[in-house]
């Protein structure tokens, strides 16, 4: 199919979903957002209608598809915080697996076959003790926490629907999503925030506590963990491309989305200090259980299959977009700091 798509974006009021809705609109498509606003922001939905509802409700999803003549779905909605998934596995299995099951049932009932799914590098678990090699999609899938378990189970359910019912699906396995819309319309507005770059920026700006670096004795060049930081606008663009990609004869493909270049936690802290122009207060702490030394993508499959290449490869540039957002957020928890500054 070419031309304008009418795309159901579940979780489109959240961080990555809202950036993707903007990218869809820029590419000439119509995003229809379905979100329960449990962790998203109505102000982030500016490029198409917002339907407030629960993605686990098959009838609500089916109605949304029908009322808005939807022809494709991008499924972001779900719970995302790894630590919480260990404390509340019941909620994670419910939201993340019943959510995708309801989307698939509603798609099948409505004759909609094109799906792009938010997956994660967490499906790889803790690859090879101490390995610093980039991770390809053919590695064993051995998640080590309930969050990763639910995402892998969701991928498998989608693959089974693809084989049995002709769904055409691409699962995109993001590494560390980061940064903000370069035009300042959107950014990361999680409450509580658990991601490194926004927490480091808050610490540097004096808006949050000093950062704890979890582990300084990993087998990496400076001893801190290495991760692959991929800009949210690059992720958004990959979703638009994935809508048109051919997932192959099985109707299902999984692809890594990362830059292929890793940065250590201490390198991120240095980049934040340079970009914000102030030292980032931080202290070294113990390792967290289950944190691998290095998680860096081999993005070759997405580069070939989607003709996708991240535009943001420079860490300082990525951090600069996130810092600009944190200084002037258009919505979200950080807005209170801006308003109190003005008052």
Positions annotated as catalytic residues are 147
Beta carbon of residue 212, minimum distance to ligand NAD (angstroms, whole number): 19
- For residues 77 and 268, which CB has a smaller minimum distance to ligand NAD in the complex? 77
Calpha distance 210→288 (Å, rounded): 17
- For residues 47 and 76, which CB has a smaller minimum distance to ligand NAD in the complex? 76
Q: Which residue is nearest to ligand NAD (CB)?
A: 14
Beta carbon of residue 174, minimum distance to ligand NAD (angstroms, whole number): 4
Beta carbon of residue 210, minimum distance to ligand NAD (angstroms, whole number): 23
**What angle, 0 to 180 degrees and rounded to 10, lies between the N-to-C axes of helices 58-67 and 99-110?**
40
Beta carbon of residue 2, minimum distance to ligand NAD (angstroms, whole number): 27
Calpha distance 62→169 (Å, rounded): 18
Beta carbon of residue 207, minimum distance to ligand NAD (angstroms, whole number): 20
Which candidate, 232, 223, 242, 220, places its Cα nearest to that of 296? 220
- For residues 45 and 266, which CB has a smaller minimum distance to ligand NAD in the complex? 45
Binding site for ligand NAD (CB under 6 A): 11, 13-17, 35-40, 54-56, 76-78, 80, 95, 99, 118, 120, 174, 176-177, 190
Bridge partners of 73, per DSSP, are: 8, 115
Beta carbon of residue 52, minimum distance to ligand NAD (angstroms, whole number): 8
CB atoms within 10 A of CB 53: 18
* DSSP character at residue 194: -
- For residues 57 and 244, which CB has a smaller minimum distance to ligand NAD in the complex? 57
**Residues present in the chain in total:** 343
* DSSP character at residue 228: -
* DSSP character at residue 95: I
Calpha distance 267→270 (Å, rounded): 5
- For residues 194 and 289, which CB has a smaller minimum distance to ligand NAD in the complex? 194
Structure tokens at 242: 């994935």
What's the gap between Cα 321 and its chain centre? 17
Calpha distance 228→178 (Å, rounded): 10
- For residues 95 and 218, which CB has a smaller minimum distance to ligand NAD in the complex? 95
Q: Is 32 helix (H, G, I), strand (E, B) or coil?
A: strand
Calpha distance 192→197 (Å, rounded): 14
């Amino acid at each position: 199919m070419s031309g304008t798509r009418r795309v159901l974006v579940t979780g489109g009021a959240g961080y990555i979903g809202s950036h993707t809705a903007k990218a869809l609109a820029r590419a000439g498509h119509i995003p229809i957002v379905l979100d329960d606003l449990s962790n998203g922001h109505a102000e982030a939905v500016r490029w198409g209608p917002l339907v407030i509802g629960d993605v686990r409700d098959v009838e609500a999803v089916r109605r949304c598809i029908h009322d808005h003549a939807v022809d494709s779905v991008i499924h972001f909605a779900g719970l995302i915080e790894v630590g919480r998934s260990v404390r509340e596995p019941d909620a994670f299995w419910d939201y993340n697996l019943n959510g995708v099951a309801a989307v698939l049932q509603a798609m099948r009932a409505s004759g909609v076959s094109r799906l792009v799914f938010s997956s994660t590098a967490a499906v790889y678990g803790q690859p090879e003790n101490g390995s610093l090699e980039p991770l390809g999609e053919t590695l064993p899938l051995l998640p080590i926490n309930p969050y990763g378990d639910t995402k892998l189970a969701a991928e498998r359910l989608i693959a089974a629907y693809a084989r049995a019912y002709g769904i055409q699906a691409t699962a995109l396995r993001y590494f560390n999503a980061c940064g903000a819309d370069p035009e300042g319309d959107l950014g990361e507005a999680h409450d509580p925030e658990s991601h490194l770059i926004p927490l480091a920026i808050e610490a540097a700006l004096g808006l949050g506590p000093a950062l704890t670096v979890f582990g300084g004795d990993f087998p990496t060049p400076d001893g801190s963990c290495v991760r692959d930081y991929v800009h949210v606008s690059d992720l958004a663009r990959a979703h638009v491309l994935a809508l048109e990609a051919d997932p192959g004869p099985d109707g299902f493909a999984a692809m890594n989305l990362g830059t292929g270049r890793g940065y250590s936690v201490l390198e991120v802290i240095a980049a934040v200090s340079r970009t914000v122009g102030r030292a980032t207060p931080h202290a070294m702490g113990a390792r967290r259980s289950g944190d691998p030394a290095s998680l860096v993508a081999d993005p070759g499959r997405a580069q070939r299959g989607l003709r996708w290449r991240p535009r943001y490869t420079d860490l300082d540039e990525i951090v600069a977009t996130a810092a600009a957002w944190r200084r002037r957020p258009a919505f979200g928890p950080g807005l209170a700091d801006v308003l109190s500054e003005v008052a």
